[in-house]
Chain A
């Protein structure tokens, strides 16, 4: 499985954009990039995923570099409720649905 590398923690001011980086330099052509977040003592929540094109939904934008070796999750206007651990995960097309979680980035949104 391709592994991901994320900074352990980040701070962001409320109302500003939060840009969370993820390195996945060994990703293969049929692996997707998924982002989940986990608010303290809750189950993870799906945010967004993509293969090679940039993606946007109501929660966030996902920017994947052209070589697919890294990506950035963007929360355009962070709020205090966005404080959570954010996980970047790569998943093989035929992995049988498994999500293998790394250590993630603990994002703290401050007033």
Chain B
């Protein structure tokens, strides 16, 4: 399957600081990437759809000013958690879908980034 990388794999930060997480599609160009969040013992929750060259589309209840998404190129999307607080501690995962007919494509997921806010 296609390779999707995330950096960093884990990060610890102080409360009030901002943290940037990168998601890279290594095998193909992607106009669309997705960001998920997963708390312990829970399922993945879709946060937003990252669109290359345009604004991200956020799911209901996700604060766009807190979770800044930048899809500056066809292979890179970044998620910045601004003014992070302990409740933002979570596992953040991105996914990429190859171009083509949307309903018949699999998505490839990154390995995830573990964020711990002290």
Nearest-CB distance from A95 to chain B (Å)?
7
Residues of A within 8 A of B4 (CB): 43
User: B106 to A43, Cβ gap below 8 A?
Assistant: no
Separation of A44 and B34 alpha carbons in the complex (Å) = 13
Nearest-CB distance from B2 to chain A (Å)?
10
Nearest-CB distance from B40 to chain A (Å)?
10
Residues of B within 8 A of A98 (CB): 34, 46, 49
Cβ-neighbour of A46 out of B103, B106, B110 (below 8 A): B106
Within 8 Å of chain A (Cβ to Cβ): is B95?
A: yes
User: B111 to A43, Cβ gap below 8 A?
Assistant: yes
Interface residues on A, range: 20 to 34
Q: What total of A-B pairs shows CB separation below 8 Å?
A: 65
User: B107 to A97, Cβ gap below 8 A?
Assistant: yes
Interface residues on B, range: 20 to 34
Q: B26-51: which residues lie under 8 A (CB-CB) from chain A?
A: 32, 34, 36, 43-46, 49
Residues of A within 8 A of B43 (CB): 87, 101-104
Nearest-CB distance from B15 to chain A (Å)?
24
Contact with B along A86-111 (1 / 0, CB 8 A): 01000111111111111110000000
User: B44 to A101, Cβ gap below 8 A?
Assistant: yes
Of all chain B residues, which has the CB nearest A104?
B43
Residues of A within 8 A of B36 (CB): 101
**Nearest 8 CB-CB pairs, A to B?**
A43-B109, A93-B103, A46-B106, A101-B44, A101-B43, A44-B109, A97-B97, A43-B112
Given pairs A42-B112, A93-B103, A101-B36, 19 additional interface contacts (CB within 8 A):
A36-B109, A38-B44, A41-B114, A43-B95, A46-B106, A46-B107, A49-B104, A87-B43, A92-B103, A94-B102, A95-B102, A95-B103, A97-B34, A97-B49, A97-B107, A98-B49, A99-B107, A100-B46, A101-B43
